[in-house]
C-alpha cells in the first residue's frame, strides 16, 4: 500500500488532487481512499489531504501519520510546516518550485529523495491561473509511478468540464518536465 500526504493552501486544489488520484487508481482496477483534513481552514491557509492506494482492499480508516510520499503544492509551506514529518528515510517529497533541486535541499536541509517541477508556471501558461493541482498530479505520477498517467485523463476531464482538456494538458506537461532526483 502507498500512502500519500498532500500539503497545500486552501483553494490550490490539494483535496481535489487526492480525489482525482483515487478515482484514477480505482479506474485502473486498484483500491484507493482520498480524504481531507479539515479544521478552521480558509482560502490561503495550509491544508492537508491524503491518499491510500493498494492492489488489495484497504481496511485501514485512520489518518496517515507515516506517508510514503509527500506532495507540496506551495513551496512557501516549507518555511511554515515540517512537510517531511513522519516520512520514512526512503520517502519521496514532490515539490512545486522554480528553484533548483540542490538549492532546495540545501536551504531547507532536506534529506529525502525529491522530485521538483515548476507547476505554477505551467498552470499560469496553460490555465491562466496559479492553480497547480493538476500539474502536481503529473509530477506525482512521473516521480512515483503509483498509477499510469493515462488513468488520470477521465477523472480530470469529468471534474473540470469545459476546461478539462487544459487541465489534462497541464498534467501531461508537468509529467514531462518533472525532475526526479537520482538515487
Residue 55 CB neighbours (<10 A): 10
Give the pLDDT of residue 44: 67
Give the pLDDT of residue 80: 87
Q: Could you tell me the three cell numbers for 53?
A: 492506494
Pairwise CA distance, residues 72 & 43, whole Å = 16
pLDDT of 33-63, one tens digit each? 999 886 655 666 788 999 999 999 999 988 8
pLDDT confidence bin for 110, thresholds 50/70/90:
confident
C-beta separation of 46 from 92 below 8 A: no
Q: C-alpha 12: how far from its chain's center?
A: 11
Domains, the chain, with CATH or none:
2-180 (3.40.920.10)
**Strand partners for 8:** 47
Q: State the chain's mean pLDDT as an integer.
A: 93
Amino acid at each position: 500500500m502507498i500512502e500519500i500526504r498532500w500539503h497545500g493552501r486552501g483553494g490550490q486544489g490539494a483535496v481535489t488532487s487526492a480525489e482525482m488520484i483515487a478515482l484514477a487508481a480505482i479506474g485502473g482496477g486498484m483500491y484507493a481512499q482520498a480524504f481531507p483534513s479539515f479544521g478552521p481552514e480558509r482560502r490561503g491557509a495550509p491544508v492537508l489531504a491524503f491518499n491510500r492506494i493498494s492492489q488489495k482492499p484497504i481496511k485501514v480508516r485512520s489518518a496517515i501519520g507515516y506517508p510514503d510520499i509527500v506532495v507540496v503544492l506551495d513551496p512557501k509551506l516549507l518555511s511554515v510546516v515540517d512537510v517531511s514529518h513522519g516520512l520514512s528515510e526512503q520517502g519521496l517529497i514532490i515539490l512545486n518550485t522554480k528553484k533548483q533541486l540542490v538549492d532546495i535541499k540545501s536551504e531547507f536541509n532536506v534529506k529525502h529523495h525529491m522530485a521538483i517541477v515548476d507547476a505554477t508556471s505551467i498552470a499560469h501558461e496553460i490555465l491562466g491561473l496559479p492553480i497547480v493541482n493538476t500539474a502536481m498530479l503529473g509530477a506525482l505520477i512521473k516521480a512515483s509511478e503509483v498509477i499510469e498517467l493515462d488513468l488520470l485523463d477521465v477523472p480530470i476531464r469529468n471534474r473540470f468540464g469545459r476546461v478539462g482538456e487544459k487541465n489534462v494538458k497541464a498534467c501531461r506537461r508537468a509529467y514531462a518536465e518533472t525532475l526526479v532526483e537520482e538515487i
